[in-house]
């Protein structure tokens, strides 16, 4: 019955991200978020490697040395920073992170908060998504502006909570975009 637990988890995650995207004003993205998780290449792997406390893609990666489900997923979902990795024009840097459109950075923020809520359950804290980001960032290929914007939103969530962060996203981030990085918090 791992497939049913996996289905419940992805449905719960999808509903949470939709709720957050709606709070941010990203209705279309909220409705369409992570639809590829229902495709056979992602769903069957998720069911097989389901554990309930972390991504099944990590378990597939540990088992096979790669995650076919993740490669499929990140190539179809623009809210993942890995979607935006391309060849670099700079000598000595073969690959680099591209500057993500702001609406996808916001969806990535929503996705990370929802994932932390799902995996941490009742132990969830508003600092969890920032802690996860800080623990993983050393291996990211991410554009500096994208990284700064995501970090600003995650830090605001930790310090000021959801309501203030989503107000800021609606009133500043989605209206002014990356220009908000020119001002102090």
Please report which confidence band the pLDDT of residue 1 belongs to, taking 50, 70 and 90 as the band edges.
confident
Q: Whole-prediction pTM value?
A: 0.94
With 90 as the cut, is the pLDDT of residue 184 above it? Answer: no
pLDDT tens per residue, range 154-175: 999 999 999 999 999 999 999 9
Q: Which long-range contacts (CB under 8 A, 24 or more apart) does 30-36 make?
A: 30/110, 33/77, 33/79, 33/107, 33/110, 33/111, 34/10, 34/73, 34/77, 34/111, 36/72, 36/73, 36/76, 36/77
Please name the helix (run of DSSP H) or strand (run of DSSP E) that holds residue 46, with its range, or none: helix 40-48
pLDDT of res. 185 = 56
């Amino acid at each position: 019955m791992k497939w049913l637990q996996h289905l419940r988890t992805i449905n719960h995650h999808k509903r949470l991200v939709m709720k957050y995207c709606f709070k941010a004003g990203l209705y279309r993205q909220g409705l369409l978020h992570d639809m590829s998780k229902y495709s056979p290449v992602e769903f069957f792997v998720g069911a097989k490697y389901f554990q309930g406390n972390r991504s099944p893609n990590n378990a597939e990666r540990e088992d096979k040395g790669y995650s076919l489900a993740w490669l499929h997923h990140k190539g179809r979902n623009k809210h993942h920073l890995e979607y935006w990795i391309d060849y670099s024009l700079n000598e000595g840097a073969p690959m680099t992170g591209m500057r993500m459109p702001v609406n996808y950075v916001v969806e990535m923020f929503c996705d990370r908060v929802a994932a932390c809520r799902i995996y941490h359950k009742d132990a969830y804290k508003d600092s969890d998504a920032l802690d996860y980001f800080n623990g993983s960032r050393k291996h990211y290929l991410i554009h500096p502006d994208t990284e700064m914007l995501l970090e600003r939103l995650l830090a605001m969530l930790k310090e000021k909570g959801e309501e203030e962060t989503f107000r800021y996203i609606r009133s500043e981030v989605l209206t002014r975009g990356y220009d908000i990085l020119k001002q102090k918090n």
